[in-house]
């Protein structure tokens, strides 16, 4: 057994879990030493970070029982194997465990040999699943069978904007493609080539990711996949503008699934929604730009250009030099050194001009390109060009080294302006979220989803930016607000614990006491007594 898989033991009696952990040699059966959670809610919280391969849970626990935990695990991480152990030899429990696709149902007291055999079976099952997905021969066959060349060529031409309007309808009919909209959106799925599992190649890993996406990413949705410039590109159709949020959240969930199942680092850039099939190229350009923002917002997530830069658009210029594309790409990012290097590459060939007239025409065209970029990204050109009365005349008079310095300074100004716009946008909705929590922390159903619905952003983008701006996850921030308010009530009002729990958003006073003790190390009553004695 070469692969080691992760295990989480869930039981409100820690000694029982520790005893189970001591019953077998985990490495010998192919598993890491188990982690531990005291109840279902805590297990879900840990699973967000750890994503265990196997969860072994008791049934009877406070706050969330083992069957509900199994259901939530299967909903969020379908590949997680669940073992249920219980002191209840009842048919209804066993039947429900089967319905929830639990791997094993084990009765207490747990027999070490039975447990060892159960984990050996699960290890073999996990090995078979990974081997099947990574089988090179099967992936090669899939690759040959899954690329209908005519459709791939059509989709490529569509995102490049090269389909003549007069030919569009007939081409769709000839290829038996239905793109009925009324909304379209292009997504770019980027699989990192720097994180390739042993036994795979970047090409085969990319194919495995695409295959998993076709199986699990909105399988009932109207989605088309094709390969372009080293990435998998998706054209999605939907009926309502509000469905964009669903698309963003599902793409974000898929990025985590690819990390869990294939150990692949996948980032999905999502473009602007459009209502005309002829504008799909605009959506693609937005998606490609969104992917490049992974250096700012991180990988293994969905990034929507609508959310990170709602006013930013990218014009597709077929004859634009690749070096200038690279300059503008780095203007959008936050690395000044890389921007300077890209400017040096672009202007490195100025000696090619044979006369002054050619050089001046080049300088004037450069100003025009910068002007177009600034306008497309809704930047004030007066600030970009530093209120120069006649910038065209200025650049024509600059020597080559001075022109390089001028372009570098101008691009750095645009980079700073874009960064300030992004910061302003994110700080605005984080501030609104913080205000909303401070005003509504008593609502028992207050959640990330509810706040995101009010703000009109996806949960994926909100969670990333909120943690980046506040240093806390939304759940931790909400808990802190509720606990701080609870402390105020404990010290200033002579109320029962259950009344305070209700007032700060907890319907279960026992769970409130559990969270309070986890936060402060003592129960609410002892905290109050200690503060008074102190």
The answer on 446 and 370 residing in a single domain is no
Peptide bond into 188 cis (omega under 30): no
> What is the predicted pLDDT for the residue at 145?
60
The answer on 300 and 160 residing in a single domain is yes
In the predicted model, residues of the chain with pLDDT beneath 70 are 1-2, 88-94, 97, 136-147, 310-321, 349, 351-355, 426, 532-534
> What is the predicted pLDDT for the residue at 242?
85
Domain region containing 287 = 145-308
CATH number at residue 291: 3.30.70.270
Whether residue 139 lies inside any domain: the answer is no
- Distance CA(441)–CA(371), nearest Å, equals 47
* Main-chain phi, psi angles of 89, to 5 degrees: -90, 65
- Distance CA(392)–CA(384), nearest Å, equals 14
The answer on 301 and 192 residing in a single domain is yes
The answer on 17 and 66 residing in a single domain is yes
pLDDT in tens, 513-527: 999 999 999 999 888
> What is the predicted pLDDT for the residue at 418?
86
Peptide bond into 288 cis (omega under 30): no
Whether residue 87 lies inside any domain: the answer is yes
Whether residue 274 lies inside any domain: the answer is yes
Residue pair 336/321 in contact (Cβ under 8 Å)? The answer is no
* Main-chain phi, psi angles of 190, to 5 degrees: -100, 120
- Quick one: residue 190, left, alpha or beta (phi over 0 = left, psi -120 to 50 = alpha)? beta
Whether residue 428 lies inside any domain: the answer is no
Whether residue 431 lies inside any domain: the answer is no
């Amino acid at each position: 057994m070469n692969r080691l898989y992760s295990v989480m033991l869930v039981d409100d009696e820690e000694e029982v879990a520790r005893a189970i952990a001591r019953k077998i040699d985990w490495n010998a059966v192919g598993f890491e030493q188990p982690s531990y959670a005291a109840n279902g809610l805590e297990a879900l919280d840990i699973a967000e970070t750890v994503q265990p391969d196997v969860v072994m849970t008791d049934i009877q626990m406070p706050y969330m029982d083992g069957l509900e935990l199994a259901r939530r695990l299967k909903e969020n991480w379908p590949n997680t194997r669940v073992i249920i152990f219980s002191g209840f030899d009842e048919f209804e429990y066993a039947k429900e465990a089967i319905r929830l696709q639990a791997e094993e149902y084990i009765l207490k007291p747990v027999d070490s040999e039975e447990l060892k055999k159960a984990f050996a079976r699960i290890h073999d099952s996990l090995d078979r699943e990974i081997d099947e997905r990574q089988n090179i021969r099967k992936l090669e066959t899939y690759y040959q069978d899954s690329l209908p060349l005519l459709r791939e060529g059509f989709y490529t031409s569509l995102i490049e904007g090269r389909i003549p309007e007069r030919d569009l309808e007939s081409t769709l009919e000839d290829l038996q493609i239905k793109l009925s909209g009324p909304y379209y959106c292009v997504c770019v799925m980027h699989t990192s080539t720097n994180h390739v599992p042993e036994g795979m190649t970047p090409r085969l890993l990319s194919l495995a990711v695409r295959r998993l996406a076709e199986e699990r990413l909105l399988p009932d949705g109207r989605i088309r996949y094709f390969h372009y410039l080293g990435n998998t590109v998706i054209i999605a159709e939907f009926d309502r503008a509000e469905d964009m949020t669903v698309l963003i959240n599902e793409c974000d969930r898929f990025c985590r699934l690819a990390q869990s199942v294939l150990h692949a680092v996948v980032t999905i850039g999502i473009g602007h929604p459009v209502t005309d099939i002829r504008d799909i190229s605009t959506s693609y350009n937005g998606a490609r730009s969104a992917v490049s923002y992974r250096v700012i917002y991180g990988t293994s997530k969905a990034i929507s250009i609508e959310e990170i830069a709602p006013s930013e658009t990218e014009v597709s210029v077929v004859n634009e030099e690749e070096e200038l594309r690279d300059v503008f790409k780095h203007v959008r990012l936050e690395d000044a050194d890389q921007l300077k290097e890209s400017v040096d590459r672009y202007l490195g060939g100025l000696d090619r001009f044979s006369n002054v007239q050619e050089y001046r025409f080049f300088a004037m065209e450069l100003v025009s390109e910068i002007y177009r970029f600034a306008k497309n990204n809704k930047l004030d050109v007066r600030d970009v060009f530093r209120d120069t009365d006649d910038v065209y005349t200025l650049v024509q008079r600059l020597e080559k080294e001075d022109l390089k310095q001028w372009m570098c300074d101008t691009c750095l100004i645009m980079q700073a302006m874009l960064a300030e716009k992004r910061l302003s946008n994110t700080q605005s909705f984080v501030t609104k979220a913080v205000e909303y929590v401070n005003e509504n922390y008593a609502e028992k159903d207050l959640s990330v989803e509810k706040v995101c619905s009010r703000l009109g952003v996806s949960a994926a983008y909100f969670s990333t930016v909120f943690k980046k701006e506040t240093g806390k996850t939304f759940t931790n921030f909400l808990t802190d607000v509720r606990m701080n308010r609870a402390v105020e009530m404990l010290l200033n009002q002579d109320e029962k614990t259950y009344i305070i729990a209700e007032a700060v958003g907890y319907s279960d006073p026992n769970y409130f006491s559990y969270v309070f003790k986890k936060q402060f190390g003592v129960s609410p009553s002892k905290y109050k007594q200690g503060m008074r004695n102190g």
